[in-house]
Amino acid sequence: MLENKVAVVTGGTRGIGLAIVKRFLEEGAKVALLGSRVETVNHALNELKEEVEKGTVLGFAPNLNDEQEVRETFQKIKETFGHFDILVNNAGMSSRTPLYQYEAKEFQKIIDLNLNSVFTCSKEAAIIMKEQQGGVILNTSSMVSLYGQPSGVGYPASKFAVNGLTKSLARELGKDHIRVNAVAPGVVNTDMVKNLPKEMIEPIIKTIPLGRMAEPVDIANAFVFLASDMASYITGAILSVDGATMV
């Protein structure tokens, strides 16, 4: 579905991001995965060793809030692979801190990664995509962008904003043949969730009509669809992949 496409996935070293990288590779794309540290990038590349040897995967660790670093990284990817078709803004962090203990420093850190980096990466990718006369930008949102959450207000606030950015960029960039969509995952069986005690997990699963949490590949499959030509007339959408979770 993604044959001859070149994709960049931020936060691509683990969890949902790494699952997206793997599925994109399986569908024929060449991928550059971006991580927060060189060590985590190298660890992910080692897991993808066969693909790395084929020359279909690159790894970088730029500061996603540094416009110059992002620009230089994206240009290097384009020069290596010849083009740049898909950007997945997946890098992010969550928070559960109650408001009364919430410090402005923590709130700003979340906004910087979850929102500001999406703006920076989308801008730099769109410049390249406009020159190529087309591309796809996909953002990782969350079910809490629709419903909020009981504590850790910075996380849902950032994802509400990502939804607004997604819809607005879809309207602005449509004339340049750039589609912009988001995927809003529910509860996903990542390493973080696996480490939670059983008594915390079971009540969560009871709120999901399908009777199970999502696996990272369930979320990755949604990104594959939206990145592909099968979704050529879909833009400005926030696709919920949450098993109809009842909040």
Angle subtended by helix axes 104-111 and 154-173, to nearest 10:
30
Residue 30: beta bridge partners? 6
Q: Tell me 3's DSSP state.
A: T
70: helix, strand or coil = helix
d(CA 99, CA 95): 11
Query: Active-site residue among 100, 102, 155, 233?
Result: 155
d(CA 45, CA 59): 7
Angle subtended by helix axes 15-26 and 38-47, to nearest 10:
40
Output the CA angle 116-20-58, nearest 5 degrees.
80
d(CA 114, CA 92): 5
Q: Is 155 a catalytic residue?
A: yes
CA 195, 201, 207, 213 torsion-angle sign: positive
> Smallest Cα–Cα separation from 2: which of 216, 227, 222, 234?
227
Catalytic residues: 155
